[in-house]
Chains A and B, each alone.
Chain A
Amino acid sequence: MLIKQPSDIPSSEITPESIYVSRRSIIAGLTASALLPSANASAAAVPSAGTLADVEKSPLSTDEAPNSWDDVTGYNNFYEFGTGKTDPARNAGTLQTRPWTVEISGEAERTGTFDLDDIVKPHTLEERIYRLRCVEAWSMVVPWVGIPLGAILAQFKPNSRAKYVAFETLYDPEQMPGQRQRVLPWPYREGLTIAEAMHPLTIMAVGVYGKVLPNQNGAPMRLVVPWKYGFKSIKSIVGIRFSETQPSTSWNDAAPREYGFYANVNPKVSHPRWSQARERRIGGSLFASKQPTQMFNGYADQVASLYDGLDLARNF
């Protein structure tokens, strides 16, 4: 396979000056203490397994207790590996997450095919403990490790026509056996408005629980948009396109009456077949009761202003 390799990106073009300057001082300090053979610390690849180093805590994390590792990595919706909740953990071993490239296209200055390392490396990893609300009325608390999506997108310099960002999952029925059945129109596609994509809560996750993301959770790189239903947070991303028009998205294509483009968590707007007023928190006992679902999954203070003047019942 021929991969168009863009010329090396000067870090000054990608990262805000304050950050790369501060990183240089760290690297300089490390080199001085002879921990690194050269000053080129960022040449180290993002690990494909194991623990992630230098993860910063974030003030945007919730203080709710996270779900267990077993719940987070054993109860998943990832139809590319089967429609049962335990199917992804069982079947996702066939996914090859290295080498991994992402095609950047559309309304941006820098487009082309980029290696995962080039996208992730320039940034500081943050732990973001977020609530996750599935459209099926269950929820979890997940300690993601990731990078603000806005910082990633900025390195490609989207132009003024970039009103939306479209994402695409890998399509390869050999690696993703669930794609042999046309349960959904493959490859899985999702999208955000540019304002949603640049919002500080929106992250590109590469890890969970301080470790590299397991395949069933969308390795090597997945979106996390905590105020939207889980299906918006597309997994195993191979394509990012800046678009002037609203992109089509998989669940919306499959059942437009049931799954909207926005898919903001909203207890007042029921799914046509079930209520969204309450949710079942995974990890509770047989006798735990459901809890009320919060507007925008509890992130209303930060995100409600994105939707000023928008009829949320119509634009569900």
Chain B
Amino acid sequence: MQRWSTLERVRRIGKPLVFTAGLLPLAWAVLAAFGIAGNLGANPIERLMDHFGNWSLYLLMGALAVTPVRKLSGLVWIGQFRRMIGLFAAFYVTLHLAVYAVLDQGLALQPIIEDVFERPFITLGFIAWCILLALSLTSFMAIRRRMGKRWQQLHYGVYAVGVLAVWHFWWQVKKDVTEPLLFAVLLAALLGLRLYWARAPRIKRRAAQATPPNALSQ
């Protein structure tokens, strides 16, 4: 057997594994819907909506965790999974929205429009989905190259998606905010680290400016 480089191992083993794992929540939903492995309980539509909603939050947090974990661990190859995890988050939030629009609302346009414009938590969720959709559609390498600098600017939008998604969850629960609070703390940590790293070089630079350059080179 030939020796594969790290990049090849990621491509040939890592990505198929993560892809398969990413489909497991969907597989569970399908099996449960048919009563094969478990069931969806007394309120199956609510259960499906919660299931897909939860998984899109887990995966969104996962995608946002890739860069901090890569920096902290020094395992550069982890970055290779960021796009796939982010796309799975977009996939599950689309299923979440589809269950809401098709099964829960029966595609009744007027109530859906009313929800999107008049129920703040649904407004937040809908905006988050729109941004995530734009990020997914521009995630192809060819488009990324063509967009140049603007690609990165657009994809900073994922931070907004994180905030909107947790906020959406917070406003959706009736009273017990334990779970949304856990997500909020995690999100604060993930975004906080970025803020710290974004400021840290500047602090270093300022320190460097305060010291004569020749003092540093010696």
> Which residues does A use to contact B, with CB under 8 Å?
70-71, 74-75, 79, 83, 85-86, 136, 138, 181, 183-184, 254-255, 270, 273-275, 277-278, 280, 282-283, 285-287, 289-290
Contacts and interface: CB of A to CB of B under 8 A. Distances in A.
Interface of A is mostly: loop
B111 A138 contact: no
Contacts of A85: 41-43
A273 B48 contact: no
Interface string B16-60: 000000000000000001000000111111101000000000000
B44 A286 contact: yes
Contacts of A183: 175-176
A275 B114 contact: yes
B103 A286 contact: yes
Contacts of A270: 118
Given A183-B175, A278-B111, A138 B119 contact: no
B115 interface: yes
Contacts of B171: 273
B175 A75 contact: no
Contacts of A275: 111, 114-115, 119
B42 A285 contact: no
Interface of B: 33, 40-46, 48, 103-106, 111, 114-115, 118-121, 171-172, 174-176, 178
A184 B42 contact: no
Given A75-B43, A183-B176, A278-B111, 9 more contacts: A74-B42, A75-B41, A83-B174, A85-B41, A136-B174, A275-B111, A275-B119, A280-B46, A286-B44
A283 B172 CA distance: 23
Given A273-B121, A275-B114, A280-B104, A286 B40 contact: yes
Contacts of A136: 174
B42 A282 contact: yes
A255 B43 contact: no
Nearest to A255: B175
A273 B106 contact: no
Chain A to chain B: the 4 pairs with minimum beta-carbon distance, closest first: A75-B42, A83-B176, A289-B106, A71-B42
14 contacts: A74-B41, A75-B41, A83-B176, A85-B41, A138-B46, A183-B175, A183-B176, A184-B175, A273-B171, A275-B111, A277-B111, A286-B44, A286-B45, A290-B105
B176 A286 contact: no
Contacts of B103: 286-287
Contacts of B114: 275
A136 B40 CA distance: 18
A274 B122 CA distance: 9
A273 B43 contact: no
A277 B119 CA distance: 13
A83 B42 contact: no
Given A275-B119, A286-B48, A287-B103, A280 B43 contact: yes
Contacts of B121: 273
B43 A282 contact: yes
A224 B104 CA distance: 28
Nearest to A72: B42
B175 A254 contact: yes
Nearest to A271: B119
